[in-house]
Every structure is written in structure tokens, then in C-alpha cells.
């Protein structure tokens, strides 16, 4: 099987070359050329004008990631402690909303957060002042957390539930109390889950354009919106759009590089099996 | 005490996850002329009637399903074959193949989307042909489904006893037959998982479709245009129908899985 | 000298409504190497985990010296455990694994460093301090686990089948090493195993368990030479167990004849089980002895031949350095010293002669004839044969 099987992946290699490698090269090409097709650095340089957009995206994405981790870790921990049957039900319930189109889920928050939406109507009904929520940065973060928290919970749950119970017992046996066991053993051992959770939330959060459009109004332009505008929007300029995309990719690569620093080689080997 | 705290916490998280969906569902039955999403005007199925009379929605649904089926099948066949190839590779080429496979999974979707758009637009400009539409959607969907198929088939190949295939041949089975009789049944669970993932990812995809669809409508794109323009409770009805469909599907799958055996826990990412 | 360090009083433990231990009593003396021996599911690991504090008994109490520690959580007990699969912390290197317990106690770095190095040299791993856990072999991981537990200066070390995952040669080496460490440190070891040879060669005291009940406690030689009932006799080594009647003191009747023996105190005409070890039986000419039979099987075992002899339908196992042919008519000679008389117990009749063994083989042969080359049959048979082979080896 081994000898001639390598040829089997040839169609795949060709496919991925055409639809992944070439398009990426095109992004590079467009980023460094002008409309006439001659080399220029102007696109890349003008990305600098949008540094506030980049900072906002990274900031909101980071806040959403931290909140997701903060909310998701205890939740995953609680689930992992349940008996097997209930665990399956709980995980099903976490995944179920993900199977619903995320535009619809985000739209649902619009109806809740609007100035005369359900939450405000409810507040008014009990005599409290209305709160302006839609079209704020907070609403965008909320939308990010809502949409991406399952991607945080699932990998965390997966490491926590697979964690070797005897290692935890060994720590207790050696004199660690509940808190020490958690900090010195459980958290370090769940690092691969934390890293994949953080990546899986941060990457889509930082590059989203729907959530900011639907919940953030016009005032919370993110990188995704910027790219969208250059390709399908009013500001049509694929060269600038490609440059922004390239910078976005670089930022994400850097972030992931930093994340992987937290993960030392050995745990990584174990974490690799998670995929 | 600790247990109660845990329960309350779990409940609050689920409330957060499900409250918006519940609101959508409730208001899909709202009888109102103004299309208000807040005031309850009594029970009615009018938005469902309207939904099923909407020719555009039905066409978008048809497109979505056609694309999902085609891309799931193509990516499953192509991906399974590729996984077998990759599994037989030496270390270095395998690592290269895996990097290419992993790339679209870590790359922001929007970047994949615009890069494919650039490819299709450039191709049209260079070679002529029709502009973006079903063709480009097929290509794009197959592309982003492939890695998921490979990553669900590959572990099954790794787990497989390498002597199985040799044993079959040893017992007189010709190679191709040995593959279908021995290898394929072993990796079938991975193939099925990959195919289901490909199908659902394709149905659900918005970002990449958005950049590669041209004027063709898929359901998520249509939903997007609805949220942009007229906001009508029709969309609530649509959400409810889709949610119901997913629920039924999941229950069927789960009951079936449960009956088969308690089995290894699937990793549905 | 023999101070009790751990005592279990009236311990009852159930899992999911199924009682594993009921009214269990055990006293462990300071400085001894105690082995809990029994087949899987006999409750030996439960006893160990109860001592460690991972299981809280439904009833009864655990005492450490004179202190009731039943409600003390594991991290406050002065006992440490070597886990079956080592349970080393994969995110820490060898040094940090061993230092784990001392860091929790807030020892200073200098002290920690010194102890870690002492421990490493004790388990022959000097120079491995900065290795990662995954870079170690099974035997090395095992030794790190031992060092990690000992660094915590436990009063009692609990070992849960620690050698089970090692290959035969390594296991033998580790047996010697563990025994040496125990003698060096003088720490009480409570060792759980299902391997009777391991138990006999390492322990000061063996506790044979089955069904959550202690069948016999004693020194390895006592257990082997004077098994209390058919279970112990069968579990420890090979034995021919015969139905007999104690006619009077020093006189027992079995296999159709009356023999002199060294046992007394059973009363007159009391039904008993008679144990005869295969290595005690001498093969003689048929006309010079009472027990006469035909050889039905001979297996070469290296040190000796294992000969199955059919004596009026009862199959005896004999270990002899002399080779015999199948079909030979031979006599079996016994001296009073070779005959061990045991009280009848619930196990009487469960373990009998070696005919069950051959019958089973016969059945398999018939079954496989019928099924011809049905593939599924093979692994089962093979496994059984392997198991039997292993039993016979011992």
C-alpha cells in the first residue's frame, strides 16, 4: 500500500495548490501592486492610516476571548465532572446553537438589544430607565462571546475530561489541597485546551465583519469591515484590501506564535492528539 | 453548596446561549401587521405561510442544499484518497501536506474568502468564462471542506493496525479488494464524520460564500440581505424551521449512535 | 518492635450499590513489607485507596497509629502512593516531579535540591533530573514515581500493582530494587499485586484476599506450605486438591487409601480437603506404592517435566525431573510431610484435579473441529492456552 499510495494525494495537492496556494500568492501580488499592476508599497503603507481600526479589532477580540475563557473554563470544568451520560447531553446542548446559522443568532441579539427591543421593553415595564446597548462596542463584544464561546468550551472540555484522574490523585497524595491541585496540575495540564480555545475564539473574533455590522452600527469599524469595503463595498480597492488582509494574517500569526510560547514541548505532544 | 452554585452557573450559561433563540422562535408566531419584533399580537402562522411562498428563499435553499451535497461528496472522496496518500508519506512531505491542510483552518475565513474571490475574478479576466456563481461556490466549498475530511480520516488510518491490510493480502485478497474489504470498513467512522462535517459547514457557511457567490443566492447570503434591508418576522419563521430541522437531525443521529453502542466520544470540531 | 501503624476496622465500601468490602479488618505493622494478594476484583486496590484516602468508607474507621484518620483528606495523610500507571505530572520534568511535594510544604530550594539528588541516586537515576517525563522508559518512570513518593518522607508507602506494566525481566529487577529500598528506608510498604510469585519473593507478610475477604494472612512460607483453604492452595502455586476424610489425628484417607500425615485437631471422621504440591510427589514403580495411574500428558518445562497422571479418573499433576512417556503405568509415592490437610471451605470442590484442564482442551478441540477454520475462535483459544501456560509456569 505504501509504495504507490503517495500518488493518491496528487489530486488533492493539485487542488490545494490552485485554491489555497495560488489565491494566497494573489493576495500578496495585489497587496504590492497598484491598479495598473506595477509594483508599489503604497497599499501596505496606507494600512497605517487604519491603525485605529486594527487596534480596536484586536482590543475587542482580546476582550471577547478573555471573557469567553473566564466564562467557559468553569463551565467546561463543571461538565467534565459530571457522569458520562450527562456530559454527552451537556455537550450536545453547547453545540446545538452552533448548528443554527450564526447570522440568525446574531440577528436575535439585535432584537434583544435594540433601544426599543425586548430588554429595554422589559426594563421599562418594571420602571427602570432604558439602556442604550445596540451599536456600542459592548454589543459587539457580546456578539463575539455569544457566537464563539462554544469554540472555547469544547476544547477545554475535551482536555479536562481526558485528564488522567490518577495524576490529580497523585497531587493530592503528595499534599496538595484543592486549590493547589487546580493551579499546579489541572490548569497546566489543560494548557493545550486553553490555547486551542483562545485561538479558535480570537481568530474569528478579530476578523469578523458581520457582528460589528449588525450589533456595532457604523461606529465600530473592524478589520473585517475594512476588508469587506475594499472588495464588495463602496470603497472598492482590492489592492488595499489585499494589503489589509496580509497585515491581518501577519498579526494573527504573531499572536499564535506568542500563544504557543505558553505551551512547552511535552504538553504539546499530548495536545497534538486532540486534533 | 458547591453543587448548587455549579448548577446555577450552568443554567445561566445555557440561558445566555438559548435566550436569543427562544425569543426568535416565540416571535415567529407573532400576529402583527407592523412586523414588530417586540410587541406580542397573538398567535399566528402567517410568517410561515409567507416564508413558504417566498420564491427567492426557496431558490436560495435549493442552491444551498445542492452545493452542500456536491461539496460534501466531492471533498469526502478527494479527502479520503488524499488522507491515504498522506498516511503513506515519509515524514517531511507529510509535514508539508499537513501544513497546507491546516492552513485554511487557522487562516481567518475572510482572508480565505477574499483570496478565492481574487482567484476567480482573475481567472475570469484571464480566461473569460462566466462570472462568479455556482461554479466558484462549488470550488470554494470543496476547498474549505477538504481539510476537515482529511483531519477526521487521518487519525483513523493511524489507529489502524498496519498489518490488517497485509493480513488480507496474505490470506489471498488482491490489493484493491483488500482495501475495500479491510481498510475502508476500518476508517468508515472517520469518513462519515468528515462527510457530515463537510455537509454542515457548507450549509452554514456565509463568509466565504459571500465573497465567491457573485449574484447567486445561498440561504445564509439571503438571510444576510434580509437583515440588511427589510426586517420581517419571516426571518424568525425561517430560523425556527432551521432550528427545528437541526434538532430533529441531531436527535436522529444521537439515538442511532446511542443504539450502536456507547462508543468512543466523537470530537465534533 | 511490632507497632501497628495502620489499622482498618470494620471497613465497608460499595460502588454503585455493589459491596466490595464488608466489615474488613486489617492491621499493618510498622516497617513491614506487606502484600495484598488476590485476583482482580478481590478488593485489594480498594483497601489501598481507603488507606490513601481516595475512598471514604461507607462504614468503619481507618487508624494511623492511634489517630482516627477516616475523615482526613488524602493531602493531609502521611502516606504516599505509587500509582499503577505512575501518574507522573507530564508538564513537569523529573526534578520538578520529585520536588512537587516538598514545594507544597514550602521547603527551601537548597533542601529540595539535596533531597531530589538523594532520591535520584537511590533509584539509580542520577543525571536524569532535567529529562522530560515522556523521554523516560516505563521502568525509569516507575523509579521516578518511587522517588517522588519517597521524597515526601511518607510513613507508609502504598504501591498499587506498580510492576504490572513492566516486562518480565525489568519486573524482576524492580522487585529486587524495591525490596532493597524498603530495607534501606525502613518505611512500611503496602504492596498490591495479583502475581503470587511477586508476593512470595518480596513480602514479610502476605494477605491473600478473595471476594473482599481475607483468606489467609501469614509469612510467604506459611502461606505456601500451610494454605488455609482450597482457594489459597490453588492461587499460590500448583496443587492437587483431593477430597478426603480425617479419620483421626495423624491419619487421613483419600484417593481410596489411608495415609499417615502430620496434621491433627480436626476430630474423627471429618471431611477435609487434602493438598499435595506437584513437586512433592515422587514417581516410583507401580508395585511399590498405593497410588497407581497412567500418564496422559507430559510437558517439558525446562527445570522439570510436568506430568499429568490419571489415577482412577482423578488427574494429578506431578513435577519431576525424570521424563515419562504418555501411556506409562507409574506409581506415586508420598511421605507424611507432603500431605497438607485443610478444613472444608466454600472453595472446596471449586478447584479440583487437573482433568478440568484437559477436558477444556478436549472441548476446544471438538469445537474447533466443528467450526473448522473459523477465525474468531483462535484468539480466545490462544489466550486461554497462554493463560494456562502461565499458570503452569509458576
Per residue in C369-387, pLDDT tens? 444 433 333 333 344 444 4
Q: Do A78 and B10 touch (CB under 8 A)?
A: yes
Q: In what order do the strands lie in the sheet with C67-68?
A: C18-29, C4-15, C59-64, C67-68
What does DSSP say about strands C270-276 and C305-311: parallel, antiparallel, or unpaired? unpaired
Contacts of B265 in chain A (CB under 8 A): 88, 161
pLDDT at B260: 56
Q: How confident is the model at residue A267 (pLDDT cuts 50, 70, 90)?
A: very low
pLDDT at residue C355 is higher than 80: no
Q: Do C52 and A191 touch (CB under 8 A)?
A: no
Query: How far apart are the C-alpha atoms of C371 and C366, rounded to whole Å?
Result: 9
Q: In what order do the strands lie in the sheet with C79-82?
A: C79-82, C156-160, C188-193, C33-37, C205-210, C213-218
Shortest CA gap A40–chain B (Å): 18
What whole-number percentage of chain A has pLDDT above 90?
54
Q: Do C80 and A173 touch (CB under 8 A)?
A: yes
Query: How far apart are the C-alpha atoms of C207 and C232, rounded to whole Å?
Result: 10
Q: What is the rounded average pLDDT of the residues C128-138?
A: 90
The SS3 call for residue C251 is strand
pLDDT at C129: 92
Other CB atoms within a 10 A radius of the CB of residue A70 amount to 12
Shortest CA gap B254–chain A (Å): 9
pLDDT at residue C35 is higher than 70: yes
Enter the pTM of the model.
0.79
Q: Do A189 and C91 touch (CB under 8 A)?
A: yes
Nearest CA in chain C to A268: C91
pLDDT at B210: 94
Chain segment C239-282, per-residue pLDDT in tens: 888 889 999 999 999 988 999 999 888 888 999 999 999 999 99
Q: Please tell me which of the candidates A169, A177, A188 has its beta carbon nearest to residue C54.
A: A169
Tell whether B85 lies on the interface with A, counting CB pairs under 8 A. Answer: yes
Query: How far apart are the C-alpha atoms of A190 and A262, rounded to whole Å?
Result: 12
pLDDT at C386: 40
Tell whether B101 lies on the interface with A, counting CB pairs under 8 A. Answer: yes
- Determine phi and psi for C122, rounding to 5 degrees: -65, -35
pLDDT at C86: 87
Q: Please tell me which of the candidates A166, A175, A270 has its beta carbon nearest to residue C104.
A: A175
pLDDT at C373: 37
Tell whether B118 lies on the interface with A, counting CB pairs under 8 A. Answer: yes
- Cα atoms found within 13 Å of the Cα of residue C58, Cβ hemisphere only: 14
Tell whether B142 lies on the interface with A, counting CB pairs under 8 A. Answer: yes
Nearest CA in chain B to A87: B265
Decide: B198 and B149 in contact? Cβ < 8 Å: yes
- Helix spans in chain A (H): 2-5, 10-16, 22-31, 42-47, 51-81, 84-95, 102-113, 118-125, 137-162, 165-173, 178-181, 187-189, 191-206, 210-215, 223-231, 238-261, 265-272
Other CB atoms within a 10 A radius of the CB of residue C321 amount to 9
Contacts of A172 in chain C (CB under 8 A): 53-54, 73-75
pLDDT at B2: 67
pLDDT at A56: 93
Chain segment B239-266, per-residue pLDDT in tens: 888 888 878 877 887 777 766 544 444 4
Contacts of A185 in chain C (CB under 8 A): 89, 91
pLDDT tens, chain B, 269 aa long: 567 889 999 999 999 999 988 888 888 888 876 656 667 778 888 889 888 888 888 899 899 999 999 999 999 999 999 999 998 888 888 898 998 898 888 899 999 999 999 999 999 888 877 778 899 999 999 999 999 999 999 999 988 887 888 888 888 888 888 888 888 988 999 999 999 889 988 988 999 999 999 889 998 998 888 887 766 788 788 888 888 887 887 788 777 776 654 444 444 33
- Residues of C near A (Cβ–Cβ under 8 Å) read 52-54, 73-76, 79-81, 83-85, 87-91, 100-101, 104-105, 132-134, 148-149, 152
pLDDT at A4: 62
Tell whether A180 lies on the interface with B, counting CB pairs under 8 A. Answer: no
Tell whether B167 lies on the interface with A, counting CB pairs under 8 A. Answer: no
Cross-strand partners of C193: C37
- Cα atoms found within 13 Å of the Cα of residue C9, Cβ hemisphere only: 13
How is residue C17 written as a grid cell? 450499590
Q: Please tell me which of the candidates A12, A90, A110 has its beta carbon nearest to residue B146.
A: A12
pLDDT at B34: 65
Q: Do B210 and A232 touch (CB under 8 A)?
A: yes
Query: How far apart are the C-alpha atoms of B250 and B79, rounded to whole Å?
Result: 24
Shortest CA gap B10–chain A (Å): 6
Shortest CA gap C25–chain A (Å): 23
Shortest CA gap C87–chain A (Å): 5
Q: What is the mean pLDDT of chain A?
A: 87
- Determine phi and psi for B189, rounding to 5 degrees: -55, -40
Contacts of C79 in chain A (CB under 8 A): 173
Q: How confident is the model at residue C363 (pLDDT cuts 50, 70, 90)?
A: very low
pLDDT at residue A151 is higher than 90: yes
Answer yes or no: is the ipTM higher than 0.85.
yes
Q: What is the rounded average pLDDT of the residues A88-112?
A: 86
Q: Do A107 and B175 touch (CB under 8 A)?
A: no
Shortest CA gap A134–chain C (Å): 44
Q: Do A174 and C88 touch (CB under 8 A)?
A: no
Query: How far apart are the C-alpha atoms of B44 and B21, rounded to whole Å?
Result: 18
Return the closest-CA partner of residue B66 out of B118, B133, B113.
B133
pLDDT at residue C145 is higher than 90: yes
pLDDT at B231: 65
Return the closest-CA partner of residue C330 out of C270, C361, C290, C301.
C290
Contacts of A244 in chain B (CB under 8 A): none
pLDDT at residue C29 is higher than 50: yes
Chains that touch C (3 or more CB pairs under 8 A): A
Amino acid at each position: 500500500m505504501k509504495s504507490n499510495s503517495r500518488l493518491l494525494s496528487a489530486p488533492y495537492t493539485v487542488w490545494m495548490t490552485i485554491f489555497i496556494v495560488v489565491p494566497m500568492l494573489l493576495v500578496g501580488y495585489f497587496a504590492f501592486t497598484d491598479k495598473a499592476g506595477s509594483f508599489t508599497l503604497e497599499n501596505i503603507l496606507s494600512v497605517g492610516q487604519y491603525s485605529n481600526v486594527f487596534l480596536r479589532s484586536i482590543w475587542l477580540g482580546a476582550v471577547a476571548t478573555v471573557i469567553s475563557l473566564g466564562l467557559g473554563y468553569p463551565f467546561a470544568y463543571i461538565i467534565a465532572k459530571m457522569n458520562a451520560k450527562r456530559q454527552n447531553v451537556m455537550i450536545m446542548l453547547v453545540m446545538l446553537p452552533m448548528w443554527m446559522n450564526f447570522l440568525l443568532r446574531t440577528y436575535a441579539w439585535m432584537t434583544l438589544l435594540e433601544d426599543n427591543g425586548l430588554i429595554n421593553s422589559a426594563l421599562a415595564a418594571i420602571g427602570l430607565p432604558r439602556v442604550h446597548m445596540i451599536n456600542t462596542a459592548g454589543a459587539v463584544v457580546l456578539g463575539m462571546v455569544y457566537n464563539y464561546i462554544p469554540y472555547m468550551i469544547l476544547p477545554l472540555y475535551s482536555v479536562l475530561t481526558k485528564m488522567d484522574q490518577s495524576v490529580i490523585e497523585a497531587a493530592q497524595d503528595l499534599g496538595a489541597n484543592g486549590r493547589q491541585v487546580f493551579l499546579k496540575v489541572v490548569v497546566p495540564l489543560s494548557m493545550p485546551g486553553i490555547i486551542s480555545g483562545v485561538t479558535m475564539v480570537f481568530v474569528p473574533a478579530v476578523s469578523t465583519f458581520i457582528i460589528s455590522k449588525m450589533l456595532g452600527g457604523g461606529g465600530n469599524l473592524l478589520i473585517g469591515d475594512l476588508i469587506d469595503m475594499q472588495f464588495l463595498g463602496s470603497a472598492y480597492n482590492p489592492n488595499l484590501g489585499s494589503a489589509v488582509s496580509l497585515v491581518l494574517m501577519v498579526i494573527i500569526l504573531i499572536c499564535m506564535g506568542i500563544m504557543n510560547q505558553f505551551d512547552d514541548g511535552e504538553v504539546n505532544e499530548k495536545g497534538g492528539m486532540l486534533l | 453548596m458547591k453543587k448548587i452554585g455549579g448548577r446555577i452557573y450552568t443554567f445561566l450559561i445555557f440561558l445566555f446561549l438559548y435566550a436569543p433563540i427562544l425569543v426568535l422562535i416565540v416571535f415567529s408566531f407573532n400576529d402583527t401587521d407592523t412586523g414588530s419584533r417586540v410587541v406580542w399580537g397573538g398567535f399566528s402562522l402567517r410568517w410561515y405561510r409567507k416564508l413558504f411562498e417566498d420564491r427567492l428563499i426557496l431558490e436560495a435553499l435549493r442552491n444551498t442544499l445542492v452545493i452542500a451535497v456536491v461539496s460534501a461528496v466531492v471533498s469526502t472522496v478527494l479527502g479520503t484518497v488524499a488522507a491515504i496518500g498522506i498516511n503513506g508519506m515519509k515524514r517531511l512531505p507529510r509535514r508539508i501536506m499537513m501544513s497546507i491542510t491546516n492552513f485554511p483552518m487557522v487562516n481567518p475565513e475572510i482572508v480565505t474568502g477574499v483570496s478565492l474571490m481574487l482567484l476567480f475574478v482573475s481567472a475570469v479576466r484571464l480566461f473569460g468564462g462566466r462570472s462568479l456563481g455556482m461554479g466558484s461556490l462549488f470550488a470554494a466549498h470543496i476547498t474549505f471542506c477538504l481539510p476537515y475530511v482529511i483531519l477526521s480520516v487521518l487519525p483513523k488510518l493511524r489507529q489502524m493496525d498496519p498489518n490488517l491490510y497485509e493480513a488480507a493480502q496474505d490470506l489471498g485478497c488482491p490489493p484493491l479488494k483488500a482495501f475495500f474489504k479491510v481498510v475502508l470498513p476500518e476508517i468508515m467512522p472517520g469518513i462519515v464524520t468528515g462527510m457530515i462535517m463537510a455537509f454542515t459547514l457548507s450549509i452554514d457557511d456565509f463568509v466565504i460564500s459571500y465573497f465567491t457567490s457573485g449574484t447567486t443566492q445561498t440561504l445564509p447570503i439571503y438571510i444576510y440581505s434580509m437583515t440588511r434591508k427589510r426586517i420581517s418576522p419571516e426571518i424568525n419563521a425561517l430560523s425556527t424551521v432551521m432550528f427545528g430541522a437541526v434538532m430533529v437531525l441531531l436527535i436522529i443521529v444521537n439515538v442511532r449512535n446511542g443504539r450502536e453502542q456507547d462508543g468512543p466520544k466523537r470530537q465534533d470540531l | 518492635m511490632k507497632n501497628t501503624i495502620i489499622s482498618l476496622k470494620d471497613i465497608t465500601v460499595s460502588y454503585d450499590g455493589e459491596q466490595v468490602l464488608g466489615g474488613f479488618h486489617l492491621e499493618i505493622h510498622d516497617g513491614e513489607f506487606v502484600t495484598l494478594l488476590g485476583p482482580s476484583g478481590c478488593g485489594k486496590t480498594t483497601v489501598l485507596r481507603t488507606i490513601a484516602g481516595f475512598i471514604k468508607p461507607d462504614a468503619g474507621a481507618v487508624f494511623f497509629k492511634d489517630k482516627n484518620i477516616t475523615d482526613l483528606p488524602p493531602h493531609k495523610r502521611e502516606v504516599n502512593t505509587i500509582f499503577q500507571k505512575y501518574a507522573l505530572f507530564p508538564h513537569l520534568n523529573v526534578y520538578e516531579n520529585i520536588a512537587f511535594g516538598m514545594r507544597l510544604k514550602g521547603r527551601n530550594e537548597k533542601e529540595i535540591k539535596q533531597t531530589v539528588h538523594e532520591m535520584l541516586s537511590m533509584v539509580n537515576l542520577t543525571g536524569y533530573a532535567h529529562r522530560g517525563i515522556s523521554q523516560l522508559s516505563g521502568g525509569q518512570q516507575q523509579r521516578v514515581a518511587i522517588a517522588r513518593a519517597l521524597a515526601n518522607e511518607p510513613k507508609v508507602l502504598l504501591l498499587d500493582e506498580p510492576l504490572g506494566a513492566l516486562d518480565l525481566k525489568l519486573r524482576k529487577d524492580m522487585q529486587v530494587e524495591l525490596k532493597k529500598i524498603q530495607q534501606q528506608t525502613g518505611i512500611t510498604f503496602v504492596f498490591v499485586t495479583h502475581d503470587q510469585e511477586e508476593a512470595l519473593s518480596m513480602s514479610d507478610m502476605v494477605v491473600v484476599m478473595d471476594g473482599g475477604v481475607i483468606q489467609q494472612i501469614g509469612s510467604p512460607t506459611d502461606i505456601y506450605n500451610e494454605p488455609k483453604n482450597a482457594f489459597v492452595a490453588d492461587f499460590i502455586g500448583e496443587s492437587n486438591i483431593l477430597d478426603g476424610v480425617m479419620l483421626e489425628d495423624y491419619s487421613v484417607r483419600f484417593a481410596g487409601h489411608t495415609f499417615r500425615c502430620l496434621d491433627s485437631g480436626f476430630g474423627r471422621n471429618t471431611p477435609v480437603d487434602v493438598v499435595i504440591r506437584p513437586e512433592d510427589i515422587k514417581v516410583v514403580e507401580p508395585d511399590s506404592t498405593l497410588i497407581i495411574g497412567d500418564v496422559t500428558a507430559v510437558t517439558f518445562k525446562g527445570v522439570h517435566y510436568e506430568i499429568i497422571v490419571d489415577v482412577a479418573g482423578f488427574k494429578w499433576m506431578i513435577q519431576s525431573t525424570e521424563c515419562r512417556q504418555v501411556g506409562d503405568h507409574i506409581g506415586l509415592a508420598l511421605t507424611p510431610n507432603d500431605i497438607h490437610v485443610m478444613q472444608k471451605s466454600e472453595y472446596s470442590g471449586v478447584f479440583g484435579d487437573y482433568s478440568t484442564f484437559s477436558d477444556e482442551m478436549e472441548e476446544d478441540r471438538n469445537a474447533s473441529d466443528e467450526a473448522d477454520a473459523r477465525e474468531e475462535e483462535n484468539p480466545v483459544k490462544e489466550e486461554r492456552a497462554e493463560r494456562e501456560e502461565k499458570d503452569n509456569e509458576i
